[in-house]
Amino acid sequence: MGSFRSLLITLLTAGCAGGQMTSSYMAATPSPTPDVFACVRGQLKANRFDQTSIDVNDNRLTARRYDETVRRPDVTFRRLVDRLEIEVAPGAGGDSVTTVSVKARTFNETVNQRGPTETQERTSETARAAAQSIVNKCSRPVDSLSVPG
Protein backbone atom coordinates (compact mmCIF):
# COMPACT_ATOMS: atom_id res chain seq x y z
CA MET A 1 0.00 0.00 0.00
CA GLY A 2 2.88 2.37 0.78
CA SER A 3 4.45 1.92 -2.67
CA PHE A 4 1.06 2.58 -4.35
CA ARG A 5 0.66 5.81 -2.39
CA SER A 6 4.19 7.02 -3.29
CA LEU A 7 3.58 6.11 -6.96
CA LEU A 8 0.33 8.07 -6.94
CA ILE A 9 2.02 11.12 -5.38
CA THR A 10 4.84 10.93 -7.92
CA LEU A 11 2.41 10.75 -10.84
CA LEU A 12 0.34 13.67 -9.54
CA THR A 13 3.45 15.78 -9.02
CA ALA A 14 4.75 15.01 -12.51
CA GLY A 15 1.38 15.79 -14.06
CA CYS A 16 1.08 19.14 -12.33
CA ALA A 17 4.64 20.28 -13.08
CA GLY A 18 4.10 21.49 -16.64
CA GLY A 19 6.07 24.17 -18.45
CA GLN A 20 6.01 27.83 -17.63
CA MET A 21 2.90 29.60 -18.84
CA THR A 22 4.67 32.97 -19.07
CA SER A 23 8.37 33.55 -19.64
CA SER A 24 9.77 36.84 -18.34
CA TYR A 25 13.03 38.49 -19.35
CA MET A 26 14.51 41.72 -18.00
CA ALA A 27 17.74 43.67 -18.46
CA ALA A 28 19.19 47.03 -17.54
CA THR A 29 21.02 49.26 -20.00
CA PRO A 30 22.86 52.58 -19.79
CA SER A 31 21.11 53.75 -22.99
CA PRO A 32 18.35 56.39 -22.85
CA THR A 33 14.74 55.19 -22.78
CA PRO A 34 13.75 56.56 -26.25
CA ASP A 35 16.71 54.77 -27.89
CA VAL A 36 15.86 51.47 -26.21
CA PHE A 37 12.19 51.83 -27.18
CA ALA A 38 13.18 52.44 -30.82
CA CYS A 39 15.45 49.39 -30.68
CA VAL A 40 12.59 47.25 -29.34
CA ARG A 41 10.28 48.36 -32.14
CA GLY A 42 12.95 47.50 -34.70
CA GLN A 43 13.60 44.09 -33.18
CA LEU A 44 9.92 43.16 -33.49
CA LYS A 45 10.26 43.26 -37.26
CA ALA A 46 13.56 41.36 -37.13
CA ASN A 47 11.83 38.59 -35.14
CA ARG A 48 8.79 38.62 -37.48
CA PHE A 49 6.31 39.82 -34.86
CA ASP A 50 3.49 42.24 -35.70
CA GLN A 51 2.93 45.15 -33.33
CA THR A 52 -0.64 45.10 -31.98
CA SER A 53 -0.64 48.09 -29.60
CA ILE A 54 1.62 50.88 -28.45
CA ASP A 55 1.64 53.34 -25.55
CA VAL A 56 4.28 55.97 -26.31
CA ASN A 57 3.69 57.82 -23.02
CA ASP A 58 4.58 54.78 -20.88
CA ASN A 59 6.87 53.10 -23.46
CA ARG A 60 4.87 49.88 -23.65
CA LEU A 61 3.85 47.77 -26.60
CA THR A 62 2.43 44.39 -27.45
CA ALA A 63 3.07 42.17 -30.44
CA ARG A 64 1.91 38.84 -31.83
CA ARG A 65 2.99 36.19 -34.28
CA TYR A 66 0.79 33.48 -35.73
CA ASP A 67 2.19 29.97 -36.17
CA GLU A 68 0.08 28.30 -38.86
CA THR A 69 2.49 25.34 -39.28
CA VAL A 70 1.47 23.50 -36.09
CA ARG A 71 -1.08 20.72 -36.56
CA ARG A 72 -3.08 19.02 -33.82
CA PRO A 73 -5.62 16.18 -33.91
CA ASP A 74 -8.43 18.53 -32.88
CA VAL A 75 -10.88 19.76 -35.52
CA THR A 76 -11.42 23.00 -33.60
CA PHE A 77 -7.68 23.84 -33.43
CA ARG A 78 -6.73 26.73 -35.71
CA ARG A 79 -3.20 27.93 -34.85
CA LEU A 80 -0.78 28.97 -32.13
CA VAL A 81 -0.48 32.64 -31.24
CA ASP A 82 2.76 33.91 -29.68
CA ARG A 83 2.37 37.21 -27.81
CA LEU A 84 4.97 39.58 -26.38
CA GLU A 85 4.34 42.32 -23.81
CA ILE A 86 7.23 44.78 -23.71
CA GLU A 87 7.88 47.65 -21.31
CA VAL A 88 10.80 50.07 -21.39
CA ALA A 89 11.12 52.08 -18.18
CA PRO A 90 13.60 54.53 -16.69
CA GLY A 91 16.04 52.73 -14.40
CA ALA A 92 16.13 53.03 -10.63
CA GLY A 93 19.55 54.67 -10.64
CA GLY A 94 23.09 53.42 -10.45
CA ASP A 95 24.54 52.23 -13.75
CA SER A 96 21.16 51.58 -15.35
CA VAL A 97 19.44 54.42 -17.12
CA THR A 98 16.73 52.18 -18.58
CA THR A 99 15.27 48.73 -17.95
CA VAL A 100 13.61 46.65 -20.63
CA SER A 101 11.26 43.80 -19.70
CA VAL A 102 9.58 41.32 -22.01
CA LYS A 103 6.86 38.80 -21.15
CA ALA A 104 6.36 36.01 -23.67
CA ARG A 105 3.18 33.93 -23.86
CA THR A 106 1.72 31.34 -26.22
CA PHE A 107 -1.97 30.72 -26.83
CA ASN A 108 -3.79 27.84 -28.50
CA GLU A 109 -6.48 29.31 -30.77
CA THR A 110 -9.54 27.16 -31.42
CA VAL A 111 -12.70 27.97 -33.33
CA ASN A 112 -16.19 26.68 -32.52
CA GLN A 113 -19.76 27.85 -33.01
CA ARG A 114 -19.19 30.78 -30.62
CA GLY A 115 -16.12 32.01 -32.53
CA PRO A 116 -12.40 31.98 -31.78
CA THR A 117 -11.17 31.12 -28.29
CA GLU A 118 -7.61 31.44 -26.98
CA THR A 119 -6.27 29.24 -24.20
CA GLN A 120 -2.85 29.96 -22.74
CA GLU A 121 -0.38 27.11 -22.82
CA ARG A 122 3.34 26.55 -22.25
CA THR A 123 5.41 29.32 -23.86
CA SER A 124 6.75 28.23 -27.24
CA GLU A 125 10.43 28.18 -28.07
CA THR A 126 9.79 30.80 -30.79
CA ALA A 127 8.31 33.27 -28.28
CA ARG A 128 11.05 32.62 -25.71
CA ALA A 129 13.81 33.05 -28.31
CA ALA A 130 12.28 36.30 -29.63
CA ALA A 131 11.93 37.73 -26.12
CA GLN A 132 15.49 36.79 -25.21
CA SER A 133 16.78 38.25 -28.49
CA ILE A 134 14.99 41.57 -27.91
CA VAL A 135 16.34 41.87 -24.37
CA ASN A 136 19.89 40.95 -25.44
CA LYS A 137 20.05 43.29 -28.42
CA CYS A 138 18.32 46.27 -26.83
CA SER A 139 20.18 46.18 -23.51
CA ARG A 140 23.55 46.92 -25.13
CA PRO A 141 24.84 50.49 -24.84
CA VAL A 142 24.23 52.66 -27.89
CA ASP A 143 27.39 53.54 -29.80
CA SER A 144 27.11 57.26 -30.49
CA LEU A 145 29.58 56.98 -33.39
CA SER A 146 27.39 54.53 -35.32
CA VAL A 147 24.26 56.67 -35.14
CA PRO A 148 23.78 58.56 -38.42
CA GLY A 149 23.52 62.35 -38.35
pLDDT in tens, the chain (149 residues): 555 555 455 544 444 555 568 899 999 888 888 999 999 999 999 999 999 999 999 999 999 999 999 888 888 889 999 999 999 998 766 666 889 999 999 999 999 888 999 999 999 999 999 999 999 999 887 655 454 44
Residue 147 in any domain: the answer is: no
How many separate domains does the chain show? Answer: 1
Residue 41 in any domain: the answer is: yes
Give the global pTM. 0.77
CATH number at residue 91: 3.30.530.50
Predicted confidence at residue 82, as pLDDT, reads 96
- Domain residues for the domain of 43 are 24-138
Residue 120 in any domain: the answer is: yes
Residue 61 in any domain: the answer is: yes
Q: Which residues contact 81 (CB under 8 A, 6 or more apart)?
A: 64, 65, 66, 67, 106, 107, 109, 118
Residue 32 in any domain: the answer is: yes
Q: Which residues contact 131 (CB under 8 A, 6 or more apart)?
A: 23, 25, 84, 102, 103, 104
Residue 15 in any domain: the answer is: no
